[in-house]
A and B are shown apart, each in its own frame.
Chain A
Amino acid sequence: MSVERTEELLLNMGPQHPSMHGVFRMVVHLEGEVVTKLDPKIGYLHRGMEKLAEGRTYPQFIPYTDRLDYLASPHNNFAYVLAVEKLMGVEIPERAEYLRIIFAELARIASHLVFIASAALDIAGWTGWGYAFRDRERILDLFEMTAGSRLTVNAMRIGGMSIEPPAEFWPALKSFLDDLPEMLEEYYGIYFGNEITMGRLKSVGILTPQMIQDLSITGPSLRASGIKYDVRRAEPYSIYDRFDFDIPVLHGCDSYDRNLIRLEEIKESAKILRQAVRDIPEGPIMAKVPKLIKPPAGEVYHRVENPKGELGFYIVSDGSTKPVRMRIRSGSFINLQVLDEICRGWKIQDVIAIFATLDAVLGEVDK
């Protein structure tokens, strides 16, 4: 006589799956549709960047940093060159500083637009995806105008910028900033303000401040749980202290607020961009750095506020042209730890939605 019993279903999601944000694999333990345990498995995009860094000179490594968080590549360049310049003690010309901030904030907006698009897509708000990607195209056009490449921009160098944006960059940037508030209104209408979206995302996947502290979560997820912490204010780098911008904070701790906070951050980035465009001086874009970059022996850790979290570079130098050790502290990798805990007790559909709000880019996670 057979005994009827219910079994736990082990569902393998990924690495090939229509909604994984990159090549990511999750082994989900399910009771019916409810998740009892989630086992993330990473490493599918591991390229050995930290080891490769030991065989490359400092300027040679800059294109590699592009491929870390490929959705906001100028920001990765930013983090890296700032770390090396801190080690070397180089002064950057004013115009280069402003240009770097412009590219970094444009990257932040682009990354958040991809976030909005993927978050919408993961709960099947197909048009929200279409709108966000359409608007992101304008930023990619700006990047292409300057650097020739849409995604991996590679425009920063140790000592400044490698290239000056062309004349048509500035009017295009200005028109993009002018159209931005209307675009954000559209997203609100089609995605954020939708009853079904709110039903799917509100109170789902609670990330408590205690969890954040225990697991050192950084980035917008931090600010969606009420903690007002941003590296740009905590440890100002470059010339961020000259700009007037707020750190938006929401207190919901749920997926919906993690979505909404990025909308707010886009508005703040637009503020910074407008000030930068207004205040940018004329001048050189590259400092006087030696042809062969040989930082003095020592170690440095520099962190920036990446759109995904805190991106930090720890570089150990022995005075030669190649680093001895480079360690990349990527926000997505650390943020991903929390996935198991916040998904327990929710359904499969929520797992997808929650994973989207953690905004992990596998390039950063696996390096």
Chain B
Amino acid sequence: MKALNQLPTTISAAIRGLFSDPQSIWADLVMTVIGIIMVIIVIVLAALVLILLERKVAGWISQRPGPNRLGPRGWFQTLADALKLIGKEDVTPAGADKFIFKVAPMLVFGLPIMTLAVIPYGMGLVPVDLDLGVFYFLAISAVSTIAFLMAGWGSNSKYSMLGGMRAVAQMISYEIPLIFSLLGVVMLTETFNLNKIVEAQSVVPFIVLQPLAFLIYVIAGIAEVNRAPFDLVEADQEVVAGPMTEYTGLRWGLFFLGEYGNMTAVSALAATMFLGGWQGPEFLPGWIWFWLKTGILIFFMMWVWWTFPRIRIDHLMHFAWKVLLPLSLLNILLTGLGIYIYQLVIGG
């Protein structure tokens, strides 16, 4: 099993070995390109699997079988949907700001790819090993707020505009508890590098040391990704589809893929920072542990969607600013106190 665990390191060493100078810039370039391709494959596969899984899980929770006609037990459903979307007419609403309208879905799909690039998927399996990992992740996911606003504004439709404004209010409000909850972990490890954070959890995962932060992160994460019960941005019953109302065909598909990419990214970060990333008992290689943990969190998001009704916008803001924010500040205080006392006990 150790061999399987170290498979990525072995493979990358082998590829570097193909070059005359394994540390040359050309080797680095090739490894980076392979990393990018890997991330894109990850996100496309994740979207493919998740879209169907979502509908199946949704079906089982509401006592239905979910899609089961296309392919064995419905597994080709996503492929069929993708083909259908490609075949649709590409409509740009009259009076829409063409540039903003067309760029928005590209942003929504591109940003998760960028965020997923810094996650360690296994031992030595991180596409881009940034020392600023956490900071970079949060900064990039903050840009998705603008992407939704662009979609809402560029569509020249009242429903889209309403959805876009809601997106801004919601995503900005929940970003702060999200960031503060991660601050606790960063205080414990004194680094932003995601690889080092995972390695620091070799004894005990940080969920044990930071349970409150984990809870806040999960709630704020669900709100950041616009998933129920925080899905007012794309609430069917009120704003038709929010910023995505006027998009057709593959443009809408990009939004959809972006949403699942975001979901994967947020779950992956939670798995990395709180659940120990690729660490786990030896009987399974690291890169399987990682996907198991991420998968559990994604399943939890789906579970929550089909159980709870939607929260109202003023309750949403109240919850973010008056409940989550003070709690996350409390968490930082407690973590700081804990570190201080620990150093007193150990050092003195």
Contact = CB atoms under 8 A, between A and B. Distances in A.
Interface of A: 9-12, 17-19, 33, 120-131, 134, 190-191, 194, 196-197, 199-200, 347-350, 352
Interface in B250-268: none
A121 B237 contact: yes
Chain A interface mostly helix, strand, loop or mixed?
helix
B142 to A, nearest CB: 23
Given A122-B237, A126-B58, A348 B310 contact: no
A131 B60 CA distance: 11
Contact of A196 (B229, B232, B240, B314): B229
Interface string B230-256: 011001111110000000000000000
A43 to B, nearest CB: 22
Contacts of B68: none
Contacts of A130: 61-64
Classify chain B: how many residues form its interface, as a range: 20 to 34
B223 to A, nearest CB: 13
B236 A19 contact: yes
B308 A125 contact: yes
Given A124-B229, A131-B62, A352-B237, A11 B162 contact: yes
A329 to B, nearest CB: 30
Contacts of A347: 312-314
Q: Which of A121, A124, A191 has the most CB of B within 10 A?
A: A124
Contacts of B58: 126
Contacts of B61: 127, 130
Contacts, number: 83
Contacts of A122: 237
B321 to A, nearest CB: 16
A196 B237 contact: no
A34 to B, nearest CB: 10
B315 interface: yes
Contacts of A350: 312
The 7 tightest CB contacts between A and B, nearest first, are A130-B62, A19-B237, A124-B310, A125-B309, A123-B309, A127-B62, A18-B236
Nearest to A10: B158
Given A196-B308, A196-B310, A126 B62 contact: yes
Interface in B286-332: 305-315
12 contacts: A11-B158, A19-B236, A124-B228, A126-B306, A130-B62, A130-B64, A196-B309, A200-B312, A348-B239, A349-B232, A349-B238, A350-B312
B311 A199 contact: yes
Contacts of A352: 237-238
B236 A194 contact: no
Contact of A17 (B240, B306, B308, B314): B240
A191 B237 CA distance: 17
B271 to A, nearest CB: 26
Interface string B69-98: 000000000000000000000000000000
B240 A18 contact: yes
Given A124-B228, A124-B237, A196 B63 contact: no
